[in-house]
């Protein structure tokens, strides 16, 4: 009897001691792994590539000759290439505008073409930019001459391939033609372009 009781006590003490050797009978709490948040990437259109389009607007022309100035509609073609640098965009382009801005009975501004550079910052689906470069004016009466221009604009991507925008440019032409007159022109234009 004593021996039977000893065996029962030994069996019970062994069954109680076994979990202590195996580890805690309570489940192990696993700490959740902390993963770093993914960086926020600005979502917006990619401006890299060629574009071509048309523009239409208004030109205000002044000269250093008394009573020789005028304003009228102006419009033409634009083309260029942009590089998307992430938050910023830079580009080069060329414009040609047809015009018939009467300055006096014998003088008019007939056309302006430009070789331009632009640099801007992306705002959502839009681009706010500064522009400048070389411009050439052709007039009836004064002749033709090269000069400079500078200005600013905004362009908005409507679809993956179509953008619309507006631009204000100030042009300065000194010593135009044989009469050496100064011609200043400010243009206000809207445009639509197809991006390839």
Read off the DSSP letter of residue 14: H
Task: List the beta strands (DSSP E) in 124-161.
Answer: 126-140, 144-157
What is the mean pLDDT of the segment spanning 33-42? 62
Cβ proximity of 97 and 72 under 8 Å: no
Dihedral angle sign, alpha carbons of residues 141, 144, 147, 149:
positive
pLDDT (tens digit, 9 = 90+) per residue, 72-117? 999 999 999 999 999 999 999 999 999 999 999 888 999 999 999 9
What is the mean pLDDT of the segment spanning 54-82? 95
pLDDT (tens digit, 9 = 90+) per residue, 154-192? 999 999 999 999 999 999 999 887 777 899 999 999 999
Can you name the CATH fold of 49-195? Porin (2.40.160)
Query: How confident is residue 57, by pLDDT bands cut at 50, 70 and 90?
Result: very high
Phi/psi of residue 5, nearest 5 degrees? -65, -40
Read off the DSSP letter of residue 106: T
Kindly state the tokens that stand for 58. Answer: 């208004």
Would you state the pLDDT for residue 88?
97
Kindly state the tokens that stand for 105. Answer: 């009975």
- What pTM value is reported for the model? 0.76
What is the mean pLDDT of the segment spanning 64-69? 89
Q: Kindly tell me if the per-residue pLDDT of 2 is higher than 60.
A: no
What is the mean pLDDT of the segment spanning 138-151? 93
Kindly state the tokens that stand for 151. Answer: 């200005």
∠ at Cα 79 (74, 81), nearest 5°?
145
Would you state the pLDDT for residue 24?
55
Would you state the pLDDT for residue 175?
86
User: Distances in Å between the alpha carbon of 50 and those of 7, 25, 57, 60?
Assistant: 93, 70, 23, 30
Cβ proximity of 69 and 93 under 8 Å: no
Q: Map tokens 């890299």 to a residue.
A: 48
What is the mean pLDDT of the segment spanning 12-36? 58
pLDDT (tens digit, 9 = 90+) per residue, 118-137? 999 999 999 999 999 999 99
CA distance 59 to 110: 11
Which of residues 28 and 93 earns the better pLDDT score?
93
Q: Kindly tell me if the per-residue pLDDT of 56 is higher than 70.
A: yes
Could you tell me which residues are beta bridge partners of residue 90? 83, 119
Could you tell me which residues are beta bridge partners of residue 12? none
Would you state the pLDDT for residue 173?
95
């Amino acid at each position: 009897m004593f021996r039977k009781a000893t065996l029962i006590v030994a069996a019970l003490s062994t069954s109680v001691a076994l979990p202590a050797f195996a580890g805690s009978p309570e489940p192990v709490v696993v700490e959740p792994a902390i993963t770093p948040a993914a960086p926020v990437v600005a979502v917006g259109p990619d401006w890299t590539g060629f574009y071509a389009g048309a523009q239409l607007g208004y030109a205000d022309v002044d000269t250093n000759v008394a009573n020789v100035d005028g304003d009228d509609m102006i419009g033409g073609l634009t083309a260029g290439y942009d590089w998307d640098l992430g938050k910023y965009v830079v580009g080069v382009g060329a414009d040609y505008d047809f015009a018939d801005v009467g300055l006096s009975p014998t003088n008019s501004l007939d056309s302006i073409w430009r070789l331009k550079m632009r640099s801007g910052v992306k705002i959502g689906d839009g681009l706010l930019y500064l522009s400048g470069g070389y411009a050439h004016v052709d007039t009836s009466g004064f002749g033709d001459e090269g000069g400079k221009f500078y200005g600013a604009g905004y362009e908005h991507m409507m679809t993956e391939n179509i953008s619309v925008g507006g631009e204000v440019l100030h042009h300065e032409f000194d010593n135009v033609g044989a009469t050496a007159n100064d011609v200043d022109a400010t243009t206000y234009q809207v445009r639509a372009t197809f991006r390839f």
